[in-house]
């Protein structure tokens, strides 16, 4: 899959496909990366070290602060795949890259590619400032 890079980086990680958007501010634990939003279908699941795929963020622009802090602490997603561009998520990755020299690739997939993501699998993301490639291995059925 070819995507649109919002932040560069290279990583391989297990896929975590969310059923609904997520607010990092109030919806995830800054110290662990666990989804804590009581209304979220994946509450209790940790996004730490996973290739997190979701439509986009929900809620406050303060989510950038929480996600950037998770990146600093090493409990953030290893990569983020989005269905639509999301400035809040991209800002967190860009700030973490500049302040902490830690890259978390953020890539926007086409609606068709996003909808074709499997429920499980291993994702390899290779994103530069100009291009992004996403490969799925060991894919399960959605």
CA distances to 66, 134, 142 from 95, in Å = 12, 23, 33
Q: Active-site residues: which are they?
A: 60
CB 81 within 8 A of CB 51: yes
CB 93 within 8 A of CB 82: no
From CA 2, how far away is CA 94, in angstroms rounded? 20
Which helix (H) or strand (E) segment is 108 a member of? strand 106-108
């Amino acid at each position: 899959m070819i995507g649109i890079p919002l932040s560069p980086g290279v990583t391989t990680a297990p896929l975590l496909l969310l059923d609904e958007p997520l607010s990092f501010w109030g919806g995830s634990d800054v110290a662990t990366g666990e989804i804590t939003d009581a209304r979220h279908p994946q509450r209790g699941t940790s996004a730490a070290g996973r290739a997190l795929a979701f439509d986009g963020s929900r809620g406050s622009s303060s989510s950038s602060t929480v996600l950037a802090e998770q990146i600093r602490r090493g409990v953030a997603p290893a990569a983020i795949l989005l269905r639509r561009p999301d400035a809040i998520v991209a800002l967190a990755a860009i700030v973490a890259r500049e302040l902490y020299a830690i890259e978390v690739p953020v890539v926007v997939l086409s609606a068709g590619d996003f909808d074709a993501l499997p429920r499980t699998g291993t994702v390899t993301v290779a994103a530069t400032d100009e291009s992004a490639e996403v490969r799925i291995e060991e894919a399960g059925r959605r």
